Structure 1
Amino acid sequence: MSGTGTGTGTDTGTDSGTGTGTDRYTVISADCHAGADLLDYRPYLEKAYHDDFDAWAADYVNPYEDLLADTADRNWNSERRLAEMEADGIVAEVVFPNTIPPFFPSASLMAPAPTREEFEQRWAGLRAHNRWLADFCAAAPGRRAGVAQILLNDVDEAVREVRWAKENGLTGGILLPGAPPGSGVPELYSQAYDPLWAVCAELGVPVNHHGGSASPPLGEEPAARAVFMVETTWFSHRALWHLVFGGAFRRHPELTLVLTEQGSGWIPGVLEMLDYYHGRLVAAATKAATAEAKFGAGLAEAMGKGPSEVWRENCYVGASFMRPHEVPLRHRIGLDKIMWGSDYPHDEGTQPYSREGLRIAYAGLPREEVAVMVGGNAARVYGFDTALLDPVAARVGPTVEEIAEPLTAVPEDASSPAFAPGGKVRVW
C-alpha cells in the first residue's frame, strides 16, 4: 500500500515495497499529456463563442506534426491510451495538456502573451479544455488525474476555475503558466497571486509548473531553437525561487508546488545556491552600514523558512524519465519528492519502452525506494486510490525482478532521452 512521506528526504513512503501486495510495481506516470481533437472542443465551449470558434477553426493550421500524424488520437482516444499504457506497465497517469485549445495559436504552454482583447476568448478556450478533460478522466475512473489550465491575467477568474476543477474531479491540480519577461503579468513572486495560492492551499490543489511553459518568445532566427533548449529549463526553474523568496509558502503553508519535466539533478545544487543567497541577504540586512543590506531588507520576515526547508515541506518533482546520472542524487532530492513519468504520448517519452526506461534508471535499487518513485509519491500527491490501482498493477505492472535486472542493450528504435548516450547502463 502507499504510505505517507515525512518530508525528511529519506522516508520511502511505502510499507509493502511494491504497492500491489505482489511482486509487481504500481506504476503511476506523473507526466503524461492529452487533449481533444480541435473540433471536438466545440461542444465544451459556451454557445456565445460558437460562431467565433467556427471562424477561427476554419482558418487554423496546426503547427505540430505529431498532432497531424496518424498517432495523434493517442491524445483523446481513451481506449487506445489505456491499452498502450497498460502494455507499457503503467496503471494511472497525471494528465497535462497537449493539443491546441480554442483560440490559441499554439499549445497554451508555448503561446505568446495575447492582447487584452484576446484574453476573454482564450479563457473560454481553456475552460472548454478543462471541461473536456473532466469527461476524459471520468472515462477511466481513478486512473487519470487531470491538470486544469488557467491564465494569470485575471486572478479572480483563475480562483473560480480552481474551485470548478476541484468540484468536478480534476485531481491533478492546476498548470501554473510562466510569467517570463515581457509577459505583461506580474512576476510569480508578486502577492497579487495570493488569492490563487490561498484557494489551492485551502482545497489541497497541487500547483504544477511544467517545463517549457515559462520561456519568453525568441523569434524565428535559426539559433532560436538551440537557445530555447539551453534556456528553457532555467526559465522553468524560476517558479521555485519566485514562490520561495516571495513568501508564498509562509503565507500559505499547505501550498504544494510540483516541478515537472525539467529534470531533477539540478535540485540539490539550486537549493544550495538559494540557501546561500537567503543566508547572505538575511545576514546583510542586520548590518545597515553595508551596501548589500538593502537587498535583504524584510526578506526573513517575508519568507519565513529557508529554501531547503520549504523544499522539504512543500515541493515535489515530476522527474519524468529519470536519467541514470540523476538517481544517485535521490536522497539529496528526497525519496519522498520524486515522481517518475513516461511523458506519453510524446516522441521523447519512454513508451513503448517504459520498462526498459525504469530498468536503466532503477536497476539495483531497494524495491522500497523504487516503489515510491514510480508510484507511491504520485499516489500521495495527486490522491490516487492505490486500493483501486493495485489489482490492475498485479495484472500489468512490471515485476520487481524485471526492474532489478540491469539493462544491457538499449532498444534500437528507442527515442527517449532516457536512453541517450551518457545516460546508459550504470553499475551500482
Structure 2
Amino acid sequence: MTERYTVVSADCHAGADLLDYKPYLEKKYHDDFDAWAATYINPYEDLLADTADRNWNSERRVSELEADGIVAEVLFPNTIPPFFPSASLVAPAPPREEYEQRWAGLRAHNRWLADFCAAAPGRRAGVAQILLGDVEEAVREIRRTKEAGLTGGILLPGTPPGSGLPELYSQTYDPIWAVCDELGVPVNHHGGSASPPLGEEPAARAVFMVETTWFSHRALWHLIFGGAFRRHPELKLVLTEQGSGWIPGVLDMLDYYHARLVAAATKAVTAESKFGAGLAASMGRGPSEVWRDNCFVGASFMRPHEVPLRERIGLDKIMWGSDYPHDEGTTPYSREGLRIAYAGLPQSEVAAMAGGNAARVYGFDLGLLDPIAAEVGPTVEEIAEPLAEIPADATSPAFARGGSVRVW
C-alpha cells in the first residue's frame, strides 16, 4: 500500500457572504444590519471575484483542498462580519460607541463558523473571534464557542500603538488566559492583525509589509514577560503566518534580556536594576523554556531557508499551512510547496510538520483523517523528490526566488 502524508493546513481562511450573516445575528440587530449592508462597499477585490465563494462554499472547499492533498484545516476569518469596515483580521479596535454592534457581528461570525465546521465533521477547526475591550464578554464568548464545537481556539487581536487598549502584557487580560487554560483553548495570533494604521502615503503599503510581522511577533514577548504562562501553565500560544526563521534569534534575545534584568535586580540599586525589579517573580521560567512548553508556530508556506532551523524552533512546534484561499497561498500547488520545503527530510519530521503537530494542538482525530489521506494525500515518495521546476503561475512566497532572504 502506498504511504501518504496526512496534511492538515494550520492556516486557512473562511467566512460567510455578507448578507448570509444576517440569520446569525440576534434579531434586535436585523434592522441595523439591513441599513448597514445597503450602503456597504466591499474593499477587497478577491471577495468580489467569482472565486469568492471558496470562503463559504463547503463542497467546493473540500473538493479543492482534497485535490491539493489537504484533508483538514484550521479556519481563521476572511470575509467581513456585520458592522465592520473591513475584514475583522485587520480591522482596528472599534470606537467605544461601536462595541455593541461589533460584538454582535463577531458573535454572528462565530455562530456561522460553527455551522460551517459541522458541515465537514472532524475536518475543520474554527477559530473564534473576540474583542479585548470587554474582557468579561470575551470570556463568555470563549466558553460559548467552545461549547458550540469550535476547536481552533480564539483569535487574539493585536493592541497596536494608538489602539487605546492595555498592552497584551497587562493583567487586565488574565481572565482570558485563565479560561483558555481551563478549557484547553489555543490562543492564536495571526500576522497582519496587530499593525497600527499607517495612513495613505505612497510608502505606507511597503512599510506595512516590512513591519507587520514584527508587530505580530510582539505578542510573544508581551505574554512571556507579563507572566501569563507562569500564572496559567497550560496556556497555548500559536503564532500564525508571520514566518518562522525569526524565532531562534528572538528567543536568544529574550533569554539575554531576561537573564540580564534578573541578574541586575539582585545587585545594588542602579538604573538597570529598576528595570528588572520583580521580573523573575512575575514571569517565572525563561523565554526559551516557555517556548518549549507553551508555544507553537503556524509556519504557513514554510520557505526552504527556514527549514534548517527546524530543530532550533522545535520539530514539535512547526505547523505547515496553505493559506487557502488567499492568492499568496500554495493552492493549487501545495504538494509542490511541501516539496520545495521538505524534500529530503526524514519521513517522521515531514509527517509532524505537515499535519501531526496541528492534529495534536487543535485536537484533530487522525483515526478519522488518515483514511481520507490514504486516498488523497501526497505520497511519501512524491514529497521526498526535490522540486526541479517552480510552477509558472504559482503566486505563493513559498516559491519566491532568493530564498536566503531572512523571514522576520
TM-score interval, smaller chain: over 0.9
Q: Could you tell me how far apart the structure 2 residues matched to 1:199 and 1:39 are?
A: 32
SS of equivalent residue, structure 1 residue 238:
helix
The match for 1:111 is 91
Q: How far 1:289 moved relative to its partner?
A: 2.8
Residue 386 (1) aligns with residue 384 (2):
no
Residue 135 (1) aligns with residue 121 (2):
no
Q: How far 1:112 moved relative to its partner?
A: 2.0
Gaps of 5+ in 1: 1-20
Q: Could you tell me how far apart the structure 2 residues matched to 1:99 and 1:114 are?
A: 17
Residue 408 (1) aligns with residue 395 (2):
no
- Using the aligned pairs only, state the percent identity: 87
SS of equivalent residue, structure 1 residue 79:
helix
Matched residue pairs, number? 404
SS of equivalent residue, structure 1 residue 335:
coil
Residue 217 (1) aligns with residue 190 (2):
no
Q: How far 1:114 moved relative to its partner?
A: 1.8
The match for 1:306 is 286
Residue 226 (1) aligns with residue 206 (2):
yes
The match for 1:239 is 219
Residue 67 (1) aligns with residue 39 (2):
no
Q: Could you tell me how far apart the structure 2 residues matched to 1:296 and 1:70 are?
A: 55
What letter is aligned with 1:316?
Answer: F
The match for 1:343 is 323
Q: Could you tell me how far apart the structure 1 residues matched to 2:94 and 2:178 are?
A: 26
What letter is aligned with 2:125?
Answer: A
SS of equivalent residue, structure 1 residue 53:
helix
SS of equivalent residue, structure 2 residue 9:
strand
Match for residue 253 of structure 1 among 222, 233, 242:
233
The match for 1:150 is 130
Provide Cα deviations, 1:225-265, integer angstroms capped at 9, x if missing partner: 01100110100000000000000000000100000000000
Structure 1 segments of 4+ aligned residues over 3 angstroms from their partners: none
What letter is aligned with 2:369?
Answer: L
Q: Could you tell me how far apart the structure 1 residues matched to 2:132 and 2:357 are?
A: 28
The match for 2:30 is 50
SS of equivalent residue, structure 1 residue 145:
strand
SS of equivalent residue, structure 1 residue 208:
strand
SS of equivalent residue, structure 2 residue 304:
coil
Q: How far 1:22 moved relative to its partner?
A: 5.2
SS of equivalent residue, structure 1 residue 326:
helix
Q: Could you tell me how far apart the structure 1 residues matched to 2:40 and 2:268 are?
A: 59
Provide Cα deviations, 1:173-194, integer angstroms capped at 9, x if missing partner: 0000000111111100000000
The match for 2:181 is 201
The match for 2:139 is 159
Match for residue 170 of structure 2 among 177, 190, 199:
190
Q: Could you tell me how far apart the structure 1 residues matched to 2:320 and 2:2 are?
A: 20
Provide Cα deviations, 1:324-371, integer angstroms capped at 9, x if missing partner: 000000000000000000000000000000000000000000000000
Q: TM-score, normalised by structure 2?
A: 0.98
Match for residue 176 of structure 1 among 135, 138, 156:
156
Q: How far 1:111 moved relative to its partner?
A: 1.1
Residue 93 (1) aligns with residue 73 (2):
yes
Gaps of 5+ in 2: none
Match for residue 105 of structure 2 among 125, 132, 140:
125
The match for 1:28 is 8
The match for 1:4 is none
The match for 1:13 is none
Q: Could you tell me how far apart the structure 1 residues matched to 2:85 and 2:171 are?
A: 30
Q: Which has the higher contact order (CA 8 A, sep 6+)?
A: 1
Q: Could you tell me how far apart the structure 1 residues matched to 2:325 and 2:201 are?
A: 29
Q: TM-score, normalised by structure 1?
A: 0.94
Q: Could you tell me how far apart the structure 1 residues matched to 2:269 and 2:127 are?
A: 49
The match for 1:332 is 312
The match for 1:423 is 403
What letter is aligned with 2:18?
Answer: L
What letter is aligned with 1:334?
Answer: G
What letter is aligned with 2:136?
Answer: D
Q: How far 1:291 moved relative to its partner?
A: 1.6
What letter is aligned with 2:215?
Answer: F
Write out aligned runs for 1:263-412 (5 A).
263-412=243-392
What letter is aligned with 1:123?
Answer: W
